[in-house]
């Protein structure tokens, strides 16, 4: 038998040291967003419609953060009984409690949230005006003092710094303002970043119209995170994929009973690129509109088929029921659900299943989108592919498909490269390389760079071929011109294809409509067909580029420029310019002209007059000069081509050709 207990040993006493506050505040809410989220939650519970947060722009010693709400406020009595009562149960034993006026689901539960302020500040000044009686109370909580009080159970002294008796007119000014002093933050917060982070902790502002959170005067953003999403579920379920249990709400969220009346609402976003931000990547769980679990992956262990998808996934799940259970499933620091608890298990199992299934769908969708994109890319080449023999088609197509899968290539780059590959194939080159490429499972960077270089050389070689043909042609023309042997039809052909003789005119297009209109403007006696002095029988060529018209007249080689040609040519140009001036609405603003004829060596006066017209965009050129000039330009082009890959033996070999 145990002996009787002496009178003075009958009771022990539970004592709380002031340091407990450290565990409740400082250690749990070190991020300003997490800390202030608690103060916002209190404003919601107090039926506030606006919570205004003012952040300091610089982190000076006197900097403060203010959180003010227009909620019910507190009477002096309530400050004592509720605010200063650590562990006070505002739900008074009923888990599904609602606020007094607006009947909002109450977020507060643990009776410690106010200490969150101590996570980022040494001192909190609370100013509150009760809507009930208009009483105003101001008091200060100072961490150093509270900590120093050995036993706060025996009554931590809190001094009231200002007090005003209950009064009718003050009732209208109800609300609470918390000012955080002596901030322990290194840097000033970026207000935009802060607002974005805060918006990820609350769905409240999106759900109801009568609650606004403002940061430095601006409301926190609404679903800003939607940008950049590639797939959104349940929206992007195909008919056969949507689980029967999932109902899609008008706002795009899915709703389902995960068993036993546990309702969840959810929306999963898969981004185009991997998500770099920790507070976005993963699935967040909300209870009554407030974050209860930071983004996580439902603690999935072991591989799932679309594992990679987790890097792209940002999901939100609303599971209000977890905050209405008799047990408090949300961990003290409110960033985590207590998943060890049996009551949390159904949500964990559901979450794993959804994540697994949606990551698999993501993988399939991505693959099929890629195939579609690939096919549309290849479609551009289909005609050219079809012209190849069947067996070759397959190889080239496979090689192009391999290229198209390289995500780093832009569409334009792919097209250029595809073009180079086809051209080279058609020219009988590159076969080995393309063959290798089509066989390759995955191309290494090295091989790819090799291919790019090869394509570059091949394009240069192809261009070289085209250019050198032109050079040869010009040489032939020059010989003929020198001998005054240029037949009229060759000259006409040049007139129609002026880019043959000068790369300068490559960007110009033949303008026929205007040419016809102009022919009628010229007086009959100036019409070229009347001319017997070697004028072409019609206006040779009218070219257009942008807002400029370029008129080209080719005299028969051997015909020497004279004063009559010059004035006739001037008349032409002037007629065209008058036409342009009369048609200010048209696209042309300028007109320039070239007259190609042999130089009047014997008449320096004519030469002088011709030269003087140059400043008026009327240019005269000798056939020989023009052709020599064209040759030189094309040769420059060949040099440029050779510079593309100076080490390549095929391009080196071109030296002799130029």
Binding residue (CB under 6 A) for ligand ATP from 90, 208, 324, 374: 90
In the complex, minimum distance from the CB of residue 111 to ligand ATP, in angstroms, rounded to a whole number? 4
Report the residue number, 104 or 265, with the smaller CB distance to Mg ion.
Answer: 104
- Binding of Mg ion by 105 (CB under 5 A): no
Binding residue (CB under 5 A) for Mg ion from 32, 35, 42, 317: 42
Give per-residue burial for 478-506: e unless 16+ CB within 10 Å, then b: bebbeeeebeeeebbebbeebebbbeebe
Report the residue number, 108 or 175, with the smaller CB distance to Mg ion.
Answer: 108
Residue 124, token pair as written in the block: 């909190």
In the complex, minimum distance from the CB of residue 51 to ligand ATP, in angstroms, rounded to a whole number? 8
DSSP-based three-state secondary structure for 18:
coil
In the complex, minimum distance from the CB of residue 35 to ligand ATP, in angstroms, rounded to a whole number? 12
Cα-trace Rg, the chain: 42
- Binding of ligand ATP by 363 (CB under 6 A): no
Report the residue number, 73 or 306, with the smaller CB distance to Mg ion.
Answer: 73
Residue 71's binding partner out of ligand ATP, Mg ion, none, with CB under 5 to 8 Å set by partner kind: ligand ATP
In the complex, minimum distance from the CB of residue 41 to ligand ATP, in angstroms, rounded to a whole number? 6
Burial category of 432 from C-beta neighbours within 10 Å (exposed 0-12, middle 13-18, buried 19 and up)? exposed
Residue 370, token pair as written in the block: 């890629």
Binding residue (CB under 5 A) for Mg ion from 32, 73, 105, 108: 108
Contact segment (CB under 6 A) with ligand ATP among 70-78, 149-157, 392-400, 455-463 equals: 70-78
Residue 33, token pair as written in the block: 């967003």
- Binding of Mg ion by 557 (CB under 5 A): no
Please choose, from the candidates 232, 255, 262, 375, the residue with its C-alpha nearest in 3D space to the C-alpha of residue 323.
262
Chain residue whose CB lies nearest Mg ion: 113
Q: How far apart are CA 134 and CA 131, in angstroms?
A: 6
- Per rule CB under 6 A, count of chain residues that contact ligand ATP: 23
In the complex, minimum distance from the CB of residue 220 to ligand ATP, in angstroms, rounded to a whole number? 18
Binding residue (CB under 6 A) for ligand ATP from 29, 52, 72, 403: 72
- As beta bridge partners, residue 22 has none
Residue 137's binding partner out of ligand ATP, Mg ion, none, with CB under 5 to 8 Å set by partner kind: none
- Binding of ligand ATP by 478 (CB under 6 A): no
> Would you tell me how many other CB atoms lie within 10 Å of the CB of residue 532?
6
Contact segment (CB under 6 A) with ligand ATP among 107-115, 204-212, 433-441, 496-504 equals: 107-115
Name the residue with tokens 């010693």: 61
Binding residue (CB under 5 A) for Mg ion from 71, 113, 254, 289: 113
DSSP string covering 160-222: EEEEE---TGGGGG-EEEEEEEEE--SSPPPHHHHHHHHHTTB-HHHH-TT-EEEETTEEPPS
CA distances (Å), origin 596, targets 179, 368, 505, 557: 86, 60, 15, 9
- Binding of ligand ATP by 68 (CB under 6 A): no
Q: How far apart are CA 280 and CA 487, in angstroms?
A: 76
- Binding of ligand ATP by 598 (CB under 6 A): no
Binding residue (CB under 6 A) for ligand ATP from 32, 105, 108, 498: 108
Report the residue number, 79 or 576, with the smaller CB distance to Mg ion.
Answer: 79
Q: How far apart are CA 642 and CA 619, in angstroms?
A: 33
Report the residue number, 119 or 351, with the smaller CB distance to ligand ATP.
Answer: 119
Phi, psi of 320 (to 5 degrees): -60, -30
- CB 296 within 8 Å of CB 208: no
Residue 241, token pair as written in the block: 């994929």
Residue 511, token pair as written in the block: 């303008």
Q: How far apart are CA 76 and CA 158, in angstroms?
A: 12
Residue 200's binding partner out of ligand ATP, Mg ion, none, with CB under 5 to 8 Å set by partner kind: none
Binding residue (CB under 6 A) for ligand ATP from 112, 179, 417, 651: 112
Q: How far apart are CA 137 and CA 128, in angstroms?
A: 5
Residue 196, token pair as written in the block: 């974005």
Report the residue number, 176 or 536, with the smaller CB distance to ligand ATP.
Answer: 176
In the complex, minimum distance from the CB of residue 87 to ligand ATP, in angstroms, rounded to a whole number? 8
Burial category of 550 from C-beta neighbours within 10 Å (exposed 0-12, middle 13-18, buried 19 and up)? buried
The 246-285 contact track toward ligand ATP, x by CB under 6 A, reads ----------------------------------------
Report the residue number, 1 or 92, with the smaller CB distance to ligand ATP.
Answer: 92
Distance of CA 425 to the CA centre of its chain: 37
Report the residue number, 108 or 295, with the smaller CB distance to Mg ion.
Answer: 108
- Binding of Mg ion by 282 (CB under 5 A): no
In the complex, minimum distance from the CB of residue 70 to ligand ATP, in angstroms, rounded to a whole number? 10
Q: What is the dihedral of CA 479, 485, 491, 494, to 10 degrees?
A: -10
Residue 245, token pair as written in the block: 């249990």
In the complex, minimum distance from the CB of residue 69 to ligand ATP, in angstroms, rounded to a whole number? 5
DSSP string covering 300-364: --S--TTGGGGGGEEEEEE-GGGGTSSS--B-TTSS-B-TTSGGGHHHHHHHHHHHHHHHHHHHH
DSSP-based three-state secondary structure for 268:
strand
Chain residue whose CB lies nearest ligand ATP: 108
Residue 109's binding partner out of ligand ATP, Mg ion, none, with CB under 5 to 8 Å set by partner kind: ligand ATP
Name the residue with tokens 């976005």: 280
Residues 8-47 that bind ligand ATP (CB under 6 A): 38, 41-43, 45-46
Residue 83's binding partner out of ligand ATP, Mg ion, none, with CB under 5 to 8 Å set by partner kind: ligand ATP
Binding residue (CB under 6 A) for ligand ATP from 30, 82, 499, 617: 82
Residues 148-187 that bind ligand ATP (CB under 6 A): 176
Residues 204-263 that bind Mg ion (CB under 5 A): none
Report the residue number, 113 or 600, with the smaller CB distance to Mg ion.
Answer: 113
- As beta bridge partners, residue 151 has 17
- CB 283 within 8 Å of CB 295: yes
Report the residue number, 65 or 474, with the smaller CB distance to Mg ion.
Answer: 65
Per CB under 5 A, residues contacting Mg ion are 41-42, 108, 113
Residues that bind ligand ATP (CB under 6 A): 38, 41-43, 45-46, 69, 71-74, 82-83, 88, 90, 108-114, 176
């Amino acid at each position: 038998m145990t002996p009787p207990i002496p009178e003075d040993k009958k009771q022990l006493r539970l004592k709380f040291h002031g340091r407990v506050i450290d565990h409740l505040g400082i250690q749990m809410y070190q991020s300003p967003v997490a800390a202030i989220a608690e103060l916002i939650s209190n404003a919601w519970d107090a039926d506030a419609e606006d919570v205004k947060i003012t952040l300091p722009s610089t982190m000076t010693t006197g900097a403060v953060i203010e959180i003010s709400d227009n909620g019910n406020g507190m009477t002096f009595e309530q400050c004592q009984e509720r605010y200063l009562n650590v562990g006070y149960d505002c739900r008074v034993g009923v888990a599904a409690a609602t606020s007094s006026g607006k009947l909002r689901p109450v977020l507060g539960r643990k009776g410690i949230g106010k200490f969150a302020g101590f996570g980022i500040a040494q001192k909190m000044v609370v100013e509150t005006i009760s809507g009930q009686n208009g009483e105003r109370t101001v008091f200060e909580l100072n961490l150093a003092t509270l900590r120093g009080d050995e036993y706060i159970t025996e009554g931590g002294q809190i001094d009231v710094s200002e007090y005003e008796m209950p009064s009718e007119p003050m009732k209208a000014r109800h609300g609470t303002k918390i000012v955080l002093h002596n901030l322990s933050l290194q840097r000033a917060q970026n207000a935009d970043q802060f607002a974005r982070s805060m918006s990820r902790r609350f769905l409240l502002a999106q759900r109801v119209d009568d609650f606004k959170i403002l940061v430095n005067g601006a409301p926190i953003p609404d679903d800003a995170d939607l940008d950049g999403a590639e797939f959104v579920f349940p929206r992007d379920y195909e008919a056969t994929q949507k689980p029967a249990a999932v109902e899609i709400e008008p706002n795009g969220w899915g709703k389902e009973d995960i068993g036993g009346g546990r309702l969840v609402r959810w929306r999963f976003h898969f981004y185009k690129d991997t998500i770099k931000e920790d507070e976005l990547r993963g699935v967040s769980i909300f209870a009554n509109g407030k974050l209860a679990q930071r983004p996580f992956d439902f603690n999935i262990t072991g591989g799932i088929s679309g594992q990679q998808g987790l890097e792209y996934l940002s999901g939100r799940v609303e599971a209000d029921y977890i905050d209405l259970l008799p047990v408090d499933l949300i961990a003290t620091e409110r960033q985590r659900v207590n998943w060890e608890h049996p009551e949390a298990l159904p949500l964990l199992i559901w979450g794993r299943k959804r994540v697994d299934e949606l990551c698999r769908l993501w993988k399939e969708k991505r693959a099929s989108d890629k195939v579609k994109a690939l096919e549309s890319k290849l479609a551009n080449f289909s005609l050219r592919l079809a012209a190849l023999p069947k067996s070759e088609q397959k190889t080239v197509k496979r090689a192009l498909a391999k290229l198209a899968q390289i995500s780093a290539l832009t569409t334009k780059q792919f097209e250029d490269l595809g073009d180079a590959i086809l051209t080279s194939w058609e020219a009988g080159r590159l076969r080995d390389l393309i063959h290798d490429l089509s066989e390759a499972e995955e191309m290494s960077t090295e091989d790819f760079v090799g291919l790019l270089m090869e394509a570059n050389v091949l394009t240069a070689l192809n261009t070289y071929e085209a250019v050198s043909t032109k050079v040869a042609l010009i040489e032939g023309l020059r010989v003929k011109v020198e001998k005054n042997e240029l037949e009229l039809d060759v000259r006409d052909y040049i007139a129609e294809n002026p880019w043959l003789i000068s790369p300068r005119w490559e960007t110009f297009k033949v303008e026929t409509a205007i040419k016809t209109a102009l022919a009628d403007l010229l007086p009959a006696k100036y019409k070229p067909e009347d001319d017997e002095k070697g004028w072409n029988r019609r206006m040779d060529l009218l070219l257009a580029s942008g807002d400029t018209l370029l008129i080209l007249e080719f005299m028969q080689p051997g015909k020497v420029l004279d004063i009559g040609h010059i004035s006739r040519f001037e008349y032409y140009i002037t007629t065209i310019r008058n036409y342009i001036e009369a048609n200010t609405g048209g696209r042309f603003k300028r007109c320039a002209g070239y007259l190609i004829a042999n130089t009047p060596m014997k008449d320096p006066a004519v030469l002088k007059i011709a030269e003087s017209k140059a400043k008026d965009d009327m240019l005269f050129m000798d056939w020989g000069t023009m052709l020599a000039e064209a040759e030189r330009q094309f040769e420059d082009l060949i040099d440029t081509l050779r510079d593309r890959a100076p080490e390549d033996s095929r391009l080196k070999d071109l030296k002799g050709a130029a």
